[in-house]
């Protein structure tokens, strides 16, 4: 079966989740590293692309649930120590994309659009 031709390049949604304690502005900075991981796999951003990148931390749940009239407290990693987490986001996004590409199967979507799986034999021969 032949793949359905597409004019646009598609969109991607990435969610960065961590249990490391970061503040909201730091989570935004982590989310901004997602495109670097996409680029590592050869991906580009196009005009018609509807990319969405989110980041959240599960740390400090008590900070938001504090009692009224009290001052809440939250621990966080200082900005000077954030670089290894930037690296982790880039590497994690790259690996997630490569895993999705190699673990996929043929798919028929809306309106009969067909996308074949990557031929695993060819991948193994080429890169194995």
Do the Cβ atoms of 117 and 100 come closer than 8 Å?
no
Q: What is the pLDDT of residue 9?
A: 66
Q: Which residues are catalytic?
A: 11, 49, 51
What is the Cα–Cα distance from 98 to 120, expressed in whole angstroms? 13
Which distant-in-sequence residues (6+ apart) come within 8 Å of 48 by Cβ? 8, 9
| Domains of the chain (ranges, CATH numbers) | 13-63+77-127 (3.30.2330.10)
Structure tokens at 82: 């954030």
Do the Cβ atoms of 114 and 2 come closer than 8 Å?
yes
The pTM of the full predicted model, rounded to 2 decimals, is: 0.80
Tens-digit pLDDT profile for the chain (128 aa)? 777 666 666 789 999 999 999 999 999 999 999 999 999 998 887 777 789 999 999 998 877 776 677 777 889 999 999 999 999 999 999 999 999 888 889 999 888 989 889 888 888 888 77
Could you give the angle at which helices 24-31 and 83-102 cross, rounded to 10 degrees?
Answer: 50
Helices (H) and strands (E) in the chain, counts: 5, 4
What is the Cα–Cα distance from 48 to 8, expressed in whole angstroms? 7
Q: What is the pLDDT of residue 4?
A: 67
């Amino acid at each position: 079966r032949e793949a359905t031709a597409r004019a646009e390049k598609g969109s991607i949604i990435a969610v960065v989740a961590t249990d490391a304690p970061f503040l909201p502005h730091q989570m935004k900075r982590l989310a901004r590293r997602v495109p670097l991981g996409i680029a590592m796999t050869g991906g580009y951003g196009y005009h018609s692309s509807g990319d969405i990148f989110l980041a959240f931390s599960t740390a400090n749940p008590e900070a938001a649930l504090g009692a009224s009239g009290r001052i809440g407290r939250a621990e966080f990693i200082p900005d000077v120590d954030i670089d290894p987490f930037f690296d982790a986001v880039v590497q994690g996004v790259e690996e997630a994309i490569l895993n999705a590409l190699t673990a996929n199967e043929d798919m028929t979507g809306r309106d009969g659009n067909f996308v074949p799986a990557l031929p695993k034999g060819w991948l193994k021969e080429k890169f194995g």
